């Protein structure tokens, strides 16, 4: 059975494992060192009904997740804009899971009254860029050569979608 639901603390080990896969693959996130579950507890606790952390679950196993976070927290003029991040277990890439969880997250953003959804992607992450374009996101900015992976540089692209 497939469900997309709010994450709970019991999901954190799977969430961390999926994120650590992305770190190890490189160019899927700007983090370069993996995390322990304990190191991610404070991060997990920042999510709530206003800024949800969602999990994609098949038969009680978390295989993907998406987070909706404040964009530039504390800057009131940006309160209607959020950052969307998502990750899928590497064994489940190209199966529509990213599309499903992002569509679910976009529905949540609309319900919560947000106007703009922003994703920040390393410019070498072509699968994520293709997915954002497929879902109607447009490139709003490119910051060239700002990330360095042991001498291999790449940029950040900002993709955005106006939803309300």
Residue 69 Cα distances to 46, 65, 78, angstroms: 9, 13, 12
CATH number reported for the structural domain that contains residue 14 in this entry: 3.40.630.30
Please give the angle made by the CA atoms of 94, 95 and 98, to the nearest 5 degrees: 80
Helix axes 126-134, 97-111, angle to 10 degrees: 50
CA 142 to chain centre: 18
Q: For the chain, how many structural domains are there in total?
A: 1
> What number of residues does the chain have?
164
State the average pLDDT over residues 3-24: 98
What's the domain range around 103? 2-162
Q: In Å, what is the CA distance from 57 to each residue of 86, 115, 122, 138?
A: 14, 27, 26, 28
Residues 119-129: tens digit of each pLDDT: 999 999 999 99
Helix (H, G, I), strand (E, B) or coil at 110: helix
Q: What does the DSSP 8-state code read for residue 29?
A: S
Task: Tell me the mean pLDDT in the region 75-101.
Answer: 97
The rounded distance, in Å, linking the Cα atoms of 117 and 81 is 6
Residue with tokens 């494992």, as numbered in its chain: 17
Of 57, 54, 76, whose CA–CA distance to 65 is shortest? Answer: 54
pLDDT digits (tens, 9 = 90+) for 34-63: 999 999 999 999 999 999 999 999 999 999
Per-residue pLDDT band for 164 (boundaries 50, 70, 90) equals confident
């Amino acid at each position: 059975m497939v469900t997309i639901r709010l994450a709970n603390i019991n999901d954190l080990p799977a969430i961390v494992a999926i994120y650590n896969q992305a770190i190890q693959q490189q160019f899927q996130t700007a983090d370069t060192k993996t995390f322990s579950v304990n190191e991610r507890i404070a991060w997990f606790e920042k999510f709530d009904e206003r800024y949800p952390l969602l999990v994609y679950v098949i038969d009680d196993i978390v295989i993907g997740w998406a987070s909706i976070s404040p964009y530039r927290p504390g800057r009131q003029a940006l309160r209607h804009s959020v950052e969307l991040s998502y990750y899928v277990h590497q064994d489940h890439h190209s199966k529509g899971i990213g599309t499903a969880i992002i569509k679910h997250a976009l529905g949540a953003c609309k319900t919560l009254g947000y106007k703009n959804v922003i994703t920040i992607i390393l410019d070498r992450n072509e699968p994520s860029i293709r997915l954002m374009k497929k879902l109607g996101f447009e490139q709003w900015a490119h910051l060239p050569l700002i990330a360095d992976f042991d001498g291999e540089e790449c940029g950040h692209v900002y993709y955005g979608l106006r939803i309300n």
